[in-house]
Each structure stands twice: as C-alpha cells, then as structure tokens.
C-alpha cells in the first residue's frame, strides 16, 4: 500500500517555483531557510527531479518544474477555495432546483406564498414538489429530496434533522347541508355517521377509533383512502365524514363544513426534515428559512372555531 502523499508539499513547491529562491520562499512560508531547504530536498526525493538547480547566486527551474508550475499553482488555488469559508449567498444569481416532498395539502396551502417569496428573492431558483407516500428517509439520504415536511415517526432516520413548523389538530369535515351541521356534534352523533379512514398503509382503524373506544363507541368506516385530497373529495360529494389535519388542509376544505372533533386527540407537530449533510449549505439554509416564515404566517391566520 502506497503511503499518502504530504499535500503540504504542494504549497511549498508552489512558493519555491514562484520565488525561485529558498530564502524568499522561507519568508513567504514563515519558515526558517533550513526548514525550507529540507522541504525542497523532500520534494526532490518524492518527485525524482532536482526541480530547482543553482545557477550563479540563484536557482533556476528544471524543465519538469517549468512544466508543473501552472498546474501546481492551480491545485493550490483550488484547495484554498475548498477550505475557504462559504462566501455570502447571492440570491439574485443563485440557479438551483430544490425538491420538496410533502403530503397533499402542503402545496395547495403553502405553495403559492412560498413560490412568490422564492421568485422575489431568488428568481433563478425552481421548486420541485413530489408527493410523500411514506416516512422512509431514503430519499433524504440519497439526495433525491432536499427537504420534506411531516410528523417525525419511528420510520424517520435517526440522523435526519427536524425543526417544528407548526402544531396542528384534526377536525371533522362534511358537505354543507350534512345532518351533522344541524345540531351540536356529540361523540355519539359523530360516531353514528359513516366515515372515511385515511391510511397510507391501508390500516382498518386509527387514533380516532382508539379515542372513541373508552366511550363505548365505534364508528362505521365505509372506505379507506391513502390521502387527504381523496377523503375530502368523497366528503364533498356524499354524506361521508372525513377527519383531517386542520392547518395542513386549509385550502382543500374550501366550501365544506368543518368542526372540532368531539373526542380528545393530541395535537400533532408538522416538522421540516432534512439530511445533516445539507445543514450548513447557505442556499439550503435560506430555503428552510423561507418555508418556516411562510408556515408561521399561515399558522396565524384564522382556523375553525373550537
């Protein structure tokens, strides 16, 4: 196995080739002349070439050294650029596409304001929204997704960063004119209706059923769907009852009757999720800030009365 090369020698070689003098190179490198001479000897040994040879009182570069001068200088510049602190982000010149993974409802509610904000601050940035079929963190790990929103769960990768965007609660939703609109909605009246269960995994019961059970109540689940849009479309066109997160589905519920659930359910926290390798990326940090700001503004708007 070959030993790793000492990359510090590249900096020394660059300065020696530029100065053509051990003494001047030593001053630039802030080394003693003897230490610089030892470095030159090491370079000669590693590269199998004298590199600089004496001519009168000075040193002249060998053909090999002349051949390498520009390449070495560029390598040192590139290395310095890699190690230099990130420069201030120029949003007006930023050209980049970000992929955001969300459940349905996010784009309908937050998309217009987010796109407007991005377009105003960074016109060269494009947002690509994709649907989130599960909580698997693989797309964040492999880089196919930059950010996603959702509830942190057991399937969320342990290394994934999360920041709370807003708290949400489930509400019941029915069409205008539905029998539930006519009087106070008790647990018994709610349970007696015909319900839509939303489950991406196709389960036959959920947290609402767990909350009804201690009250001695069960609800009739007529159909199971995978998403909020499907549930609300069915509620809009029938007497079925959908139960969905309030803030996350705001615009999807336009024209429907909404009511607080008559059973006690814990609130959920909608979070912004990303992989730690993007944590310090300036453009990614800026986008995360935009999403937080837009969600905060929405969370202050009116919601269904308690």
Range from 6-10, 28-32, 148-152, 186-190 carrying the lowest mean pLDDT:
6-10
Q: With contact defined as beta carbons under 8 Å apart, do 189 and 183 qualify?
A: yes
For 151-208, give the DSSP string: ---TTS-TT-EEEEEEEE-EEEEEETT-GGGGS---HHHHHHSEEEEE-TT--S--HH
User: Does the pTM of the predicted model rise above 0.85?
Assistant: no
Token pair belonging to 186 = 């008790």
As given in the structure block, the two tokens for residue 85 are: 């602190």
pLDDT, mean over the chain: 89
Q: pLDDT value at position 88?
A: 78
Residue partners of 58: CB distance under 8 A and separation at least 6: 20, 21
pLDDT at position 104 = 87
- Domains recognised in the chain with CATH numbers: 8-83 (1.10.10.10), 91-168+269-299 (3.40.190.10), 170-266 (3.40.190.10)
User: Which letter does DSSP use for residue 237 in this model?
Assistant: T
Q: Which of 226, 223, 246 is nearest to 235 (CA)?
A: 223
**pLDDT score, position 306:** 39
pLDDT value of residue 86: 62
Most confident residue range from 3-17, 37-51, 261-275: 261-275
Per-residue pLDDT reduced to its tens digit, 192-226: 999 999 998 778 889 999 999 999 999 999 999 98
pLDDT given at position 87? 62
**Average pLDDT value for residue range 33-41:** 90
State the Cα–Cα distance between residues 96 and 285, nearest whole angstrom: 13
**What is residue 14's three-state secondary structure?**
helix
Can you give the pLDDT at residue 305?
Answer: 44
Residues sharing a CB contact under 8 Å with residue 107, sequence separation 6 or more, in sequence order: 129
Across residues 23-44, what is the average pLDDT?
A: 89
Query: What mean pLDDT do residues 66-73 have?
Result: 84
Count Cβ neighbours within 10 Å for each residue of 29-51 and write b for 16 or more, e otherwise.
bebeeeebeebbeebeeeeebeb
């Amino acid at each position: 196995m070959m030993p790793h090369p000492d990359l510090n020698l590249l900096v020394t070689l660059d300065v020696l080739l530029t100065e053509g003098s051990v003494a001047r190179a030593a001053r630039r490198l802030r080394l003693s002349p003897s230490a610089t001479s030892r470095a030159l000897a090491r370079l000669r040994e590693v590269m199998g070439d004298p590199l600089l040879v004496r001519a009168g009182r000075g040193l002249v570069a060998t053909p090999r050294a002349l051949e390498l001068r520009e390449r070495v200088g560029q390598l040192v510049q590139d290395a310095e650029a890699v190690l230099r602190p990130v420069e201030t982000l120029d949003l007006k010149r930023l050209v980049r596409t970000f992929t955001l993974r969300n459940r349905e409802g996010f784009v309908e509610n937050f998309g217009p304001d987010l796109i407007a904000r991005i377009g105003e601050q960074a016109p060269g940035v494009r947002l690509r929204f994709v649907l989130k079929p599960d909580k698997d963190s693989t797309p964040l790990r492999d880089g196919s997704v930059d950010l996603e929103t959702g509830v942190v769960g057991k399937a969320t990768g342990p290394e994934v960063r999360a920041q709370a965007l807003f708290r949400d609660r489930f509400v019941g939703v029915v069409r205008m004119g539905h029998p539930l609109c006519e009087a106070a909605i008790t647990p018994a009246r709610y349970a007696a209706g015909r319900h839509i269960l939303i489950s991406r995994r196709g389960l036959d019961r959920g947290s609402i059923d767990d909350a009804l059970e201690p009250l001695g109540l069960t609800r009739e689940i007529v159909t199971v769907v995978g998403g909020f849009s499907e549930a609300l479309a069915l509620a809009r066109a029938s007497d079925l009852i959908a139960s969905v997160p309030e803030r996350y589905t705001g615009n999807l519920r336009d024209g429907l009757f909404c009511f607080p659930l008559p059973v006690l359910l814990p609130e959920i926290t909608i979070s912004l999720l990303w992989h730690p390798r993007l944590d310090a990326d300036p453009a990614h940090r800026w986008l995360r800030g935009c999403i937080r700001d837009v969600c905060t503004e929405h969370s202050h708007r009116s919601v269904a009365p308690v």
